[in-house]
Amino acid sequence: MLTRKQLELLDFIKTRVDIDGVPPSFDEMKDALDLKSKSGIHRLITALEERGFIRRLAHRARALEIVKLPDAMEKPGFTPRLVQGSKPAAPPPRPAAALPIDIAHAMEIPMMGLIAAGVPIEAIAHVSHHVTVPNALMSGRGSHYALEVKGDSMIEAGINDGDIVIIREQLDAENGDIVVALVEDAEATLKRFRRRGGMIALEAANPAYETRVFPGHMVKVQGKLVGLIRSY
């Protein structure tokens, strides 16, 4: 599973190799993906290499080689996009004895994958499956989605590794809210939000992790924590 930015970068590298015979430079990749620094490109390249889609070649300029492509990129008309958590057009058939979700006071929401409560991981981008959650965990109007927590940086806020967090989609936050924050359009993390003038601080709830501070334009709020599910 690749994120939107990983897919965009892989598609850009393939296009340039097809046209010019050589991969683009890191500056060209940064400009093409509209990132603020080359550090985001380095993280995306590393993620693509770890997943086996590209290979870095030693002792060569612009030393990138495409090893394979996702199935979707082989199909005509493919355009990478961020899945925003829409429900499928029709739910699967239910056994006759099962209660419909609305009668059981619950609803299905998309599970978008992992979110880091620790060192940030690549940005979420794909619905992996759907989970059924009680309506009581929904907060206010708007779309909701679920994420599995990876890491322990929010343990003092009662959020443990392996928990499922329920997120309400929104693009702003108040100081003290626990949010899904997208950093440089390349990595996502679950942290407490603080605005300090033109800067944004992403605070952990574990003294082992430092608060990370970024210029405001580098951080985009993707949603607010409104509920949590834990399996024992």
Catalytic residues: 153, 191
* Joined tokens for residue 211: 């608060």
**Nearest Cα to Cα of residue 212 among 191, 198, 197, 185:** 191
Cα separation, 154 vs 117, whole angstroms: 6
Q: Do 191 and 152 form a contact (C-beta atoms < 8 A)? A: no
To the nearest 10°, report the CA torsion of 11, 17, 19, 22: 140
List, in sequence order, every residue forming a beta bridge with 213; answer none if it has no partner.
201
List, in sequence order, every residue forming a beta bridge with 130; answer none if it has no partner.
110
Cα separation, 111 vs 108, whole angstroms: 9
- 161 CB burial (10 A radius; 0-12, 13-18, 19+): middle
